[in-house]
């Protein structure tokens, strides 16, 4: 089931284009790693998903009732809270309603007169509707954790705990990290942000690197072959023009028009 979908997200800061075509699909239960060189826009993309930044273009759709738990790169964890408690703080309103429902149930069980039971029952009905509208009965399985460098400032024991937790987490995770070992153990899908656009790969970080190398080699070969063909066509056009005859000039112009229509591959 698709929880989150981004299509063609664009974002610029002044004249600096950070994102030009960022797209990804996050499935229920998926743990996706978002990778790319420093400054490529990973954190910006995550902030757009979290609603902290606004995109200049593109579309983002989320499953109804989906909640986002966002942990920023600087680790804004409240005093006295664990990382897990901070991530799940997005559900505090729902959790409070759940506790209020339990309290009302106990009060109704102890009620000794019809008026009190009616009053408590009315409160219970209203709170139940609010709880359902907030997707209260499925809140633990409809959360996407957005983690920007979560292992920063953690010791090895804490990192090991976080690995285990995320591997068994029932919701979905979108993770930014420079810790390749951590991503290898946590992620089952990777998304690379390069030159403002995204490409996604199945598997963990190691699998991504193998696939990325294969794609690179295929694309470089295609680019080199296209460059050779363009050079060959340009040489033929130049030779036709050297003849400086009406027929040869028409042939040169015809080849030039065809060459202009060729979609040039990026190196």
* Closest by CA position to 41, among listed 56, 26, 59, 30: 56
* Alpha carbon distance 151, 71 (integer Å): 11
42 pLDDT higher than 90: yes
Predicted pLDDT at 78: 53
H/E element, 119: helix 114-133
Predicted pLDDT at 84: 61
Predicted pLDDT at 40: 94
Across 44-65, average pLDDT: 93
Residues 6+ apart with CB under 8 A from 186: 31, 33, 163, 166, 167, 173, 175, 204
Residue 199: strand pairing partners: 192
The structure tokens listed for 60 are 């983002």
Of the listed ranges 4-18, 21-35, 76-90, 226-240, the one predicted with least confidence: 76-90
Tokens 């075509």, residue located: 21
Predicted pLDDT at 53: 95
- Judged by DSSP in three states, 118 sits in helix
Predicted pLDDT at 134: 64
The bridge status of strand 57-62 relative to strand 2-13 is antiparallel
Q: What is the pLDDT of residues 81-137, one digit of tens each?
A: 666 666 566 667 777 888 888 888 888 888 778 888 788 888 888 888 877 666 565
Predicted pLDDT at 163: 92
pLDDT tier, 152 (very low <50, low <70, confident <90, very high otherwise) = confident
Predicted pLDDT at 239: 94
Please, what is the angle between helix 114-133 and helix 92-110, to 10°? 160
With a threshold of 0.75, does the pTM exceed it?
no
15 pLDDT higher than 60: yes
Q: Using H for helix, E for strand and C for coil, what is the string for 125-181?
A: HHHHHHHHHCCHHHHHHCEEEEEECCCCCCCHHHHHHHHHHHHCCCCEEEEECCCHH
Q: At CA 213, angle to CA 231 and CA 144, rounded to 5?
A: 125
104-108, 126-130, 152-156, 199-203: which is most confident: 199-203
Predicted pLDDT at 168: 87
């Amino acid at each position: 089931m698709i929880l989150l979908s981004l299509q063609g997200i664009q974002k610029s800061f002044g004249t600096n284009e950070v994102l030009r075509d960022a797209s990804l699909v996050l499935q229920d239960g998926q743990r996706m790693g978002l990778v790319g060189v420093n400054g490529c826009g990973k954190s910006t993309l995550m902030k757009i998903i979290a609603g902290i930044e606004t995109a200049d273009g593109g579309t983002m759709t989320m499953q109804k009732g989906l909640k986002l738990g966002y942990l920023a790169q600087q680790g804004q964890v409240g005093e006295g809270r664990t990382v897990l408690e901070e991530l799940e703080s997005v559900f505090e309103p729902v959790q409070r309603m759940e506790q209020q429902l339990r309290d009302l149930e106990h009060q109704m069980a102890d009620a000794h007169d019809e008026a009190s039971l009616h009053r408590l029952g009315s409160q219970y009905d209203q709170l139940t509707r609010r709880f359902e509208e907030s997707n209260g009965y499925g809140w633990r399985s409809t959360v996407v954790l957005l983690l920007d460098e979560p292992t920063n400032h953690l010791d090895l024991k804490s990192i090991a705990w976080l690995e285990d937790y995320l591997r068994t987490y029932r919701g979905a995770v979108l993770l930014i990290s420079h810790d390749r070992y951590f991503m290898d153990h946590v992620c089952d899908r990777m998304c690379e942000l390069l030159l403002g656009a995204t490409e996604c790969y199945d598997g963990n970080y190691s699998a991504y690197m193998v696939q990325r190398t294969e794609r690179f080699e295929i694309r470089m070969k295609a680019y080199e072959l296209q460059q050779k063909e363009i050079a060959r066509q340009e040489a033929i056009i130049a030779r036709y023009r050297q003849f400086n005859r009406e027929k040869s000039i028409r042939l040169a112009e015809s080849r030039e028009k065809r060459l202009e229509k060729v979609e040039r591959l990026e190196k």
